[in-house]
Amino acid sequence: MSMREVFEKNPDRRYIMFGGKGGLGKTTFSAAAAYWLAKQGYKVLVFSVDPQASLSDIFKRDIFGKGAVEIMQNLYAQEIDADQRIHEYQEEIRQKIRDMYGMEEIPEEIENYIQAAAAEPAMEESAIFDEVVDIVVGGKYDYYIYDLVPLGHALYYLSMASVYDQWIDKITALRTEMEEYAQVAAVMQRDKESEEDQILKELQYIKTRINTSSGILTDKQKTAFFFVVTPEEMIILDTKKAAGLFAKFDVPLSGYIVNRVIPEELRGGNIPEYLRNRMEMQKKYLAEIDQVFGGEVLARIPEFERDITGLPMIERMAEVMFGGVQ
């Protein structure tokens, strides 16, 4: 199978992800896949869930925090600004407090608490997660390409979906229980009852959103997850481990892409020993990759003479990934 065949044979897989360690080529492949799909006539959004996003670098456009920016016909890119989202949360909370208690000013103690909560690292993750859910639930595009964070974080991100889910299940169950008690004891006042109802509704709404988002990640019908690997010992080891972990989270794998392969045609020439050694090393690890990941290897991508930035380079990358861009 080739990359092109995976896409052509699975037209329902509209959520595309490239996983792997930092610096292996996830952002590059995300952009090139987005470019190729857009050229095929699909409306594509490539978006970054990485706080150190580099879609701006690869497209040579400042897109950070600007929503979905049109890069060319059918191709949109978005870098999520988690801080902006956190500020929106904070303002929402302040407004709720003002409304609920009829306050003009937020008491200092509460304001301090709001500030402290926003500094929690989990807050950033949760803000990003929320924005991703918005994007995906929005349903405005044919393809969604997630420019993922490095492996460990991606796993955290995936596991968070199930943690959230369990947490909300528990809270929802508690709320329902409380409501039942309250009704039996008839201690609940009328307006308090409707307030509880509202919270329950809100939680169920969040739950639906999270289920939609995490459901997509683990749905082989809808999702294509590719692992990026390079012909190096440590990377192969890490990838094997990661593939095992992903299987545990029920994330279906579509295949592997081998990046940064030194072009074989260099071999014929009078090349420096340094390069010859590197090629020998790669040869060994390429054989190991074929042995370990076998039929699941979809493409070998050459090491280019320079980094991949700007649309002409992205097009060249799309050509080697998919074999020709119409």
Q: Interface residues with ligand ADP (CB under 6 A)?
A: 20, 22-28, 54, 259-260, 301, 303-304, 307-308
Q: Which does 303 bind (CB under 5 to 8 A by kind): ligand ADP, Mg ion, none?
A: ligand ADP
Nearer to ligand ADP, 288 or 303 (CB): 303
Order of strands across the sheet that contains 75-79: 69-72, 75-79, 44-48, 143-147, 15-19, 223-229, 255-261, 297-302
Q: Which does 24 bind (CB under 5 to 8 A by kind): ligand ADP, Mg ion, none?
A: ligand ADP
Strand partners, 280: none
CB of 46 to Mg ion, least distance (A): 11
CB of 320 to ligand ADP, least distance (A): 8
Nearer to ligand ADP, 207 or 300 (CB): 300
Q: Which does 323 bind (CB under 5 to 8 A by kind): ligand ADP, Mg ion, none?
A: none
- Which tokens belong to 298? 């979809």
CB of 304 to ligand ADP, least distance (A): 4
Nearer to Mg ion, 154 or 206 (CB): 154
What is the spatial distance between Cα 25 and Cα 276, in angstroms, rounded to a whole number?
Answer: 23
14: DSSP letter:
-
Nearer to ligand ADP, 91 or 303 (CB): 303
Of the candidates 25, 62, 12, 13, the one whose C-alpha atom is nearest the C-alpha of residue 308 is 25
Q: Which does 301 bind (CB under 5 to 8 A by kind): ligand ADP, Mg ion, none?
A: ligand ADP
Of the candidates 287, 280, 224, the one whose C-alpha atom is nearest the C-alpha of residue 258 is 287
Nearer to ligand ADP, 86 or 228 (CB): 228
Q: Which does 10 bind (CB under 5 to 8 A by kind): ligand ADP, Mg ion, none?
A: none
CB of 106 to ligand ADP, least distance (A): 40
DSSP one-letter string for 171-185: HHHHHHHHHHHHHHH
Q: Please write down the long-range contacts of 167-175, taking CB distance under 8 Å and 24 or more positions apart.
A: 168/203, 168/206, 168/207, 168/210, 169/207, 171/203, 172/200, 172/203, 172/204, 172/207, 175/199, 175/200, 175/203
Q: Tell whether residue 78 is a contact of Mg ion (CB under 5 A).
A: no
Nearer to ligand ADP, 80 or 206 (CB): 80
Nearer to ligand ADP, 55 or 133 (CB): 55
Q: Which does 126 bind (CB under 5 to 8 A by kind): Mg ion, ligand ADP, none?
A: none
Out of 13, 27, 160, 161, point to the residue binding Mg ion (CB under 5 A).
Answer: 27
Of the candidates 149, 138, 148, 158, the one whose C-alpha atom is nearest the C-alpha of residue 43 is 138
| Alpha-carbon distances, residue 155 vs 147, 152, 222, 229, 249 (angstroms) | 14, 5, 19, 17, 8
16 burial via Cβ count (<10 Å: 0-12, 13-18, 19+):
buried
CB of 25 to ligand ADP, least distance (A): 4
Of the candidates 255, 266, 260, 254, the one whose C-alpha atom is nearest the C-alpha of residue 300 is 260
Nearer to ligand ADP, 289 or 308 (CB): 308
CB of 27 to ligand ADP, least distance (A): 3
Which residues contribute to the site for Mg ion (CB under 5 A)?
A: 26-27
